[in-house]
Structure 1
Amino acid sequence: MEEQVPHRPIQSRRTMIWVLLAAAVVLALIAQGILSRRAAHGELERDVERYSVQTVEVIAPIRMKGTQDLVLAGDIRAFSDAPIFARTSGYLRRWTVDIGEKVKKGQLLAEIDAPEINDQLRQARADEQTARANYLLAKTTSERWVQMQKNNSVSRQETDEKNGDMLAKQAALNAAQANVSRLEQLVSFQKIYAPFDGVVTARNTDVGQLIDAGSGAAGRELFHIQDATTLRVFVDVPQSYARLVHVGLPAELVLTEQGDRKFEGVTVRTAGAVDPVARTMRVEVDVKNPVGELLAGAYAQVRFKLTSENPGLMLPGNALLFRPEGVRAATVDANGRVKLLPIVLGTDYGTRVSIVSGLTGDERVILNPPDSIIDGTEVRIAKSAQGGKAS
């Protein structure tokens, strides 16, 4: 019979190998868990460190152009504009012009019938003749008494009385002449003439209507005349631009109903002072209107091209901090820390505001800064915002 070889040691070795392999797998899994935990912890620490420093977006202030357009509302008025009133009372005899008609200086507009003024003038002329006759008689008498006084035929007292009577008669003559002149002027006012070349824009009377003299409560405007060959356009310029608008500055007049057409004008007068209520300065721009394309009384936009030797800076509205102590701009210095700079605001353009002072133009200004931001806070600048410009 053959001798049998024992198998128990071989099976023991195989079992040991499997045990060792299982232990190695377990150790590998444990090591992997530990390493992944450490990596996650390190990533967490890096995230904490990264997010503990606030990331901000910065911009550079925009430097305004040396020239800029200023568009303001304008009130168009005729160069000469006059309501016509009567200087004498009566009934309107006739009128010679109506609305829309062109008139020349000195042209007859209407006639007033005032017979009582004519009667008063005739009476005044008669009184003047009487006063003249009395004066001439008194003058002759005075001259005779002067001659007789030289011969001692009359006393000095009597001579002085005659001379005084002559002077009184002369004063009465002067008064009568003045009254005649006044009534002659009233008679001349019965005819109403145009004071300048222009267009009749209103007629408020008709034949037979009772006319009262003067322009007060009793008087009534008969005609209205405008000379619109040159137009005055009045513009109220804000205080911040008042020093940039001067006499001789060109301007463009734009009317929305005429599309893109522009009318050239020039600044001829400035008030030289700012209204204490509106904080604006009144400016007059003259525009030539030889064929009447523009109408007096209309609304228009006036564009000025302003030039500044020292153009300022602008920031968007979301870069400003409004604090109790004043307006601030949050900037980032070279060390990556916040520095709040006091600034003075200028004109508000809607999405942007001009900066009068407080910035040099080289700062990095934080966009949308939180209200809690303070000086010295460490921040990180977003890469996409490096060297960004305000939009």
Structure 2
Amino acid sequence: MPETPLPDETGGPDNRTLKRVGIGAAIVALLVVAAGTASRLGATSDLRDVAAQAAVPTVAVVRPQGGAGAGDLVLPGNVQAYNSAAIYARTNGYVRRWLADIGDSVRAGQTLATLDAPEVDQQLAQAQADYQTALANQKLASSTATRWNALLAEDAVSRQEADEKAGDLAARSALSNAALANVKRLRALQGFTRLTAPFDGVVTSRAAQIGALVVAGNAASQPLFTVSDIHRMRVYVRVPQAYSAQLKAGMTAALALPEYPGRSFAATLTRSAGAVDAQSGAVLVELQADNPDRALKPGAFAQVRFDLGAGNGNSLTLPSSAILYGKDGPTVAVVDVNGRVTVRPVTIARDEGATVVISGGVREGERLIDTPPDAIQTGDRVKVQRTAETGGRKGAAHAD
């Protein structure tokens, strides 16, 4: 018969049982370590994913818009009279009276004011006396030269003496002509004591005061009157170079003035300077508008609206906040359907404050980042906010 193992004398488990318990404990320990390691690896992976997702910024986007009215070019204009003349005194004197005031309609040649010029009157009287003296001397020299020529024919005088008398006649004639010219000059100055309107128009300023001293030729003096022809008005506009090729003589524009809200005045482009101003980078153009009711006033400010038509690059507008300004000029950050960014240069045709008009670089409907960060670069990845379109500008909003 096989021998039965005897129990431990102390009554504890045998060696085989202890081995089994030790192996089981080791296996449990390994399982615990493996579970802890797997949990840590999973947490690390989740942390990486969270960090990667947090590294992709969420942005709001806008879309360039065109449509009706987007092709309008609105620029400030300066309204001027068709003709305007500042009337200065041409002679010294005192204002005797004035016959026209501001707002009066005047005709060409109508007297505006008269001056008293006593000095000119006395100078004219003296000049007339000098002319009479010179004329008398001329007549005497003429008769003397005639007699000496007759004596020369009879060999009663020498040729030298006859030539001297002829020369004296020529000198006296020249003095007489000079005196006559002085008389005519002073008569012209005397005629300048009557100030007249150069053309039909309206008196837009008057500085003449009765009894006031008028000094001709003073650079600091102001005009006594200003007469403006306002039956037709000229409007001067500085057009940015980017638009200058689209404006042609004969095209129409609409004028808006702050004192006539809701009213529009028709104007026609008549001519262009044909040169770009080096300081402003703009081309000066002139428009003309009829003014039958005198609603347009010289010196007024007007908003001039040109209809350039839609469907071109200049008809796209977007918020100013979408423009990123850097060393390479204005740029925008375009987001594709995969959330990838492309930094693209654009050309700003007109800055309207809250919005800008883009003449090149973007297409209608593209998604542009609103308020892009300065550090954004081509190839960066972003997430687009899921917001609704707002006013056709902000939003765009379908995330990839």
Q: TM-score, normalised by structure 1?
A: 0.72
CA distance in 2, matches of 1:65, 1:303: 14
1:68-87 correspondence runs (5 A)? 68-87=71-90
Deviation string, structure 1 residues 252-297 (Cα, Å, up to 9, x no partner): 2212322211111122333333333333333332221123233333
1:57 CA drift (Å) = 7.0
Which residue is 1:185 aligned to?
A: 188
1:344 CA drift (Å) = 4.3
CA distance in 1, matches of 2:104, 2:120: 31
Residues 1:242 and 2:244 aligned together: yes
Residues 1:198 and 2:201 aligned together: yes
Instruction: Name the CA shift for 1:331/1:98 in 2 (closer, same or farther; >3 Å).
Output: closer
1:1-391 correspondence runs (5 A)? 51=53, 54=56, 62=65, 68-207=71-210, 209-216=211-218, 219=221, 221-307=223-309, 310-312=312-314, 316-331=319-334, 337-359=340-362, 365=368, 371-377=374-380, 391=394
> For residue 267 of structure 2, what is the amino acid of its counterpart?
G
CA distance in 2, matches of 1:328, 1:348: 14
> For residue 227 of structure 2, what is the amino acid of its counterpart?
I
CA distance in 2, matches of 1:323, 1:142: 93
Question: RMSD of aligned C-alpha atoms?
Answer: 4.0
Instruction: Name the CA shift for 1:363/1:264 in 2 (closer, same or farther; >3 Å).
Output: closer
1:144 CA drift (Å) = 3.4
CA distance in 1, matches of 2:71, 2:324: 27
Deviation string, structure 1 residues 287-346 (Cα, Å, up to 9, x no partner): 211232333333322222225895345554454444555554444568875444444444
Instruction: Name the CA shift for 1:264/1:59 in 2 (closer, same or farther; >3 Å).
Output: closer
1:59 CA drift (Å) = 6.6
Contact 2:72 2:309 in 1 (8 A): no
Instruction: Name the CA shift for 1:336/1:66 in 2 (closer, same or farther; >3 Å).
Output: same
1:170 CA drift (Å) = 0.8
Q: TM-score, normalised by structure 2?
A: 0.71
1:222 CA drift (Å) = 2.8
Identity of aligned residues (%): 43
> For residue 269 of structure 1, what is the amino acid of its counterpart?
R
Instruction: Name the CA shift for 1:320/1:218 in 2 (closer, same or farther; >3 Å).
Output: closer
1:168 CA drift (Å) = 0.2
Structure 2's unaligned 5+ residue stretches are 1-34, 395-400
Which residue is 2:21 aligned to?
A: none
SS of residue matched to 2:299: coil
Instruction: Name the CA shift for 1:129/1:383 in 2 (closer, same or farther; >3 Å).
Output: closer
1:169 CA drift (Å) = 0.6
CA distance in 2, matches of 1:329, 1:58: 11
SS of residue matched to 1:291: coil
Instruction: Name the CA shift for 1:308/1:179 in 2 (closer, same or farther; >3 Å).
Output: farther
1:118 CA drift (Å) = 2.9
